[in-house]
Amino acid sequence: MKNIYIVITVLCAVLFTTGCSSDFLDENNDKIKPPAKTIELFLEKSTTNTAKIILDGKTNSSYEIKSFPSNMAFDSFTGSVENGIAIIKYEVDDTDLLGQFGVIELGTIELQVDGLGLVSVSVFYGNYGNPKITVSDNLLDFGKSGDYMQFNIKNNTSDGLLKWEIDSVPEWINVSNSSGLIQTYDYSTIYAICQRGDLPAGDYEGDIIIRNNDKNDSIVTIKVKMTIRATVNPENVLGIEGRVMSAKYSKINDELYIFTQNPNTMIVYNPTTKSMTKLALPKSPNCAVLSEDGKSAYVGYSALMTVIDIKNKKITKSANVDFNVHDIAYGENNWCYMTVKASDSFYGYYAYNLQTNTIGLSTNSNLNANDEFMKIKGKPSLIVANQYGGFKLIDISSGQEGETNYWYSSFGSKLWITEDGSFLIGSNGRIFRTPTSSSSPMFELGKLDGAENIMYLEHNASANSIYTISDYYSSSSVKCYDAGSYYLKKTIAYNNEYYATINGIKNMFEVKPYYIFSNKKGNELYLLRNIISSDTNGDYNTWSIETIK
């Protein structure tokens, strides 16, 4: 049988045989309140149905049907009124209405109610046809910070009108609309608002249930999820005071060395004890490097370089220089090498002899300003990389001057060297064998599987792994590759939040990793992260260390 709807609305109309003076109305005010409640009934064709017409709660009497629409029929034209409710049984013939969608006024039922007089009831017929419901989303995930999301309810047919009503939602969700009527091939947009309030930290899930008149899909469920952040940082995350300017890890000492600005400090972090020891630096550091034996750190500043005794945590040598140090490397036989930080053209590097305290400029290598050094382990050679994809090999066996060879291999904007110095890896993931002389050919040995936009790279020989931080449209990922096959082992999950107080406001902020290191055994990773800021003047410099097993 065809399903139909009928709406009966008691509008008004009480006829009196006496004059309608205001005295009479005041006297009978509590008896003849015009009913106004709308009753909506679901009916089946040719089935006798019962309707309740609410009249007046104090009335107990009888009624008689005086007139009615031509397409309605009744079991009886008389009946009783009990506690203000008149009950009628009826049938509807909708033969001439089947082609019309919507709500149609059929006519008027007039009831003669004993004690009230003549009551007029307008009758409406609703033909909704065979609508087809679709929803744009079956999952709304608010995550840890989302406030609202939207979804669409669509009537995906020309054969009916879609009536829908949101039956229930989780207690932490409000919706912009809870019911509606959708025309053919139209849709309604609903906003779901997440009410986090004072809910305790944790993960929350629930359902938005939509009831509707699609006969084949009368109940539709949309799952909703959210997470309430904790107000403390996990045990594997520790805060760092100051802005991180450089960081190095010694697998000999199994310690992380962090060089910060404001305050100007070298922080020695021991992952085993989770302790931090600090050494004050004379000014803001630009760069730093560790000696191969792990005994010394060499730090470059503007117009200054210092040598630090790591074991005793003290500066053992300072040297004033006439340039801004961009990068620094320790060679051999008490020689230290520095490139220049400059906004204009500069060529060459400076070599400083720690024993004689003399410094000289080498121009034979034709280095550029802002180039970066990498010492080849166990060999009197430096690799110098520039941001344009070229790199140089400098022979430093004689101290200040040495033969320089140049290759261009499109490795990207940055270059890293493996632990033993055998391989070079670019920021685009391309891998080369480290040249040992000018006659060494430069062939690509392979590429880290799918790697692009590498910001930082760490090689661990013990774990036979290469770890990377990559940046894709401000979204960072941490990945682990097999150091032999270059295949991706896995993407490593990290905690991308940090609870901090900024500008007097305590909140959980999103963070981005900038450095990645691993311990000697290769069973722990250390991420240096900073809060992501929308401030156009720069980041917040709220750094932290995360340990990942």
DSSP string of 224-267, one letter each residue: EEEEEPPSS--TTEEEE-SEEEEEEEETTTTEEEEEEETTTEEE
Rounded average pLDDT over 165-177: 95
Distance of CA 385 to the CA centre of its chain: 35
CA 432 to CA 451: how far, in whole Å?
15
Distance of CA 528 to the CA centre of its chain: 20
Burial class of residue 95, CB neighbours in 10 A (0-12, 13-18, 19+)? exposed
Strand-strand pairing, 162-168 and 505-518: unpaired
Strand-strand pairing, 219-228 and 139-141: parallel
The answer to whether residues 498 and 529 touch, using CB atoms and an 8 Å cutoff, is yes
Distance of CA 481 to the CA centre of its chain: 25
Using left for φ > 0, alpha for ψ between -120 and 50, and beta otherwise, residue 338 falls in: beta
Kindly report the backbone phi and psi dihedral angles of residue 354, in degrees, each rounded to the nearest multiple of 5, phi listed first: -70, -20
Strand order of the β-sheet with 173-175 is 133-135, 148-155, 187-194, 173-175
Q: Which pLDDT belongs to residue 32?
A: 39
Residue whose token pair is 């400029």: 361
The answer to whether residues 407 and 442 touch, using CB atoms and an 8 Å cutoff, is yes
- How sure is the predictor about 99, in pLDDT bands with cuts at 50, 70 and 90? low
Q: Which pLDDT belongs to residue 6?
A: 42
- Lowest mean pLDDT, pick from 214-223, 254-263, 370-379: 370-379
CA 348 to CA 338: how far, in whole Å?
9
Buried b (16+ CB within 10 A) or exposed e, 113-150: bebbeebbbbbbbbbbbbbbbebeeeebebeeeeeebe
Q: Which pLDDT belongs to residue 266?
A: 98
Kindly report the backbone phi and psi dihedral angles of residue 506, in degrees, each rounded to the nearest multiple of 5, phi listed first: -90, 130
pTM: 0.66
CA 346 to CA 363: how far, in whole Å?
10
Kindly report the backbone phi and psi dihedral angles of residue 95, in degrees, each rounded to the nearest multiple of 5, phi listed first: -55, -45
The answer to whether residues 544 and 232 touch, using CB atoms and an 8 Å cutoff, is no
Rounded average pLDDT over 406-430: 89
- Lowest mean pLDDT, pick from 11-20, 92-101, 102-111: 11-20
Six-digit token string for 401: 């001057």
pLDDT at residue 362 greater than cutoff 50: yes
Q: Where are the alpha helices (DSSP H) in 458-516?
A: none
CA 249 to CA 270: how far, in whole Å?
10
For residue 45, what are the CA distances in angstroms to 55, 80, 90, 175? 27, 26, 11, 35
The answer to whether residues 69 and 107 touch, using CB atoms and an 8 Å cutoff, is yes
Which SS3 state, helix, strand or coil, does residue 285 take? coil
Residue 499 bridge partners (DSSP):
508
Neighbouring C-alpha atoms within 13 Å toward the C-beta of 78 = 3
The answer to whether residues 133 and 162 touch, using CB atoms and an 8 Å cutoff, is yes
Q: Which pLDDT belongs to residue 439?
A: 63
The answer to whether residues 115 and 14 touch, using CB atoms and an 8 Å cutoff, is no
Q: Which pLDDT belongs to residue 539?
A: 57
Residues 8, 66, 121: CA angle, nearest 5 degrees: 20
pLDDT at residue 27 greater than cutoff 50: no
Six-digit token string for 336: 């230290």
Give residues with Cβ within 8 angstroms of 29, minimum separation 6: none
> What are the DSSP calls for 184-236, one per residue?
TT-EEEEEEEE--TTPPSEEEEEEEEEEES-TT--EEEEEEEEEEPPSS--TT
pLDDT at residue 486 greater than cutoff 80: yes
CA 431 to CA 425: how far, in whole Å?
5
Which SS3 state, helix, strand or coil, does residue 353 take? strand
Distance of CA 289 to the CA centre of its chain: 36
Which SS3 state, helix, strand or coil, does residue 79 take? strand
Which SS3 state, helix, strand or coil, does residue 413 take? coil
CA 151 to CA 164: how far, in whole Å?
14
The DSSP secondary-structure symbol of 129 reads: B
- How sure is the predictor about 5, in pLDDT bands with cuts at 50, 70 and 90? very low
CA 98 to CA 241: how far, in whole Å?
75
pLDDT at residue 12 greater than cutoff 80: no
Return the percentage of the chain with pLDDT > 70, whole number.
87
pLDDT per residue as tens digits for the range 293-347: 999 999 999 999 999 999 999 999 999 999 999 999 998 889 999 999 987 777 7
pLDDT at residue 399 greater than cutoff 60: yes
Closest CA to 149 of 180, 168, 175: 175
Give all domains of the chain, ordered by start, each with its CATH number: 3-127 (2.60.40), 133-228 (2.60.40.10)
Mean pLDDT of the chain: 85
The DSSP secondary-structure symbol of 23 reads: H
Q: Which pLDDT belongs to residue 493?
A: 95
The answer to whether residues 263 and 252 touch, using CB atoms and an 8 Å cutoff, is no
Buried b (16+ CB within 10 A) or exposed e, 520-541: beeebbbbbbbbbbeeeeeebb
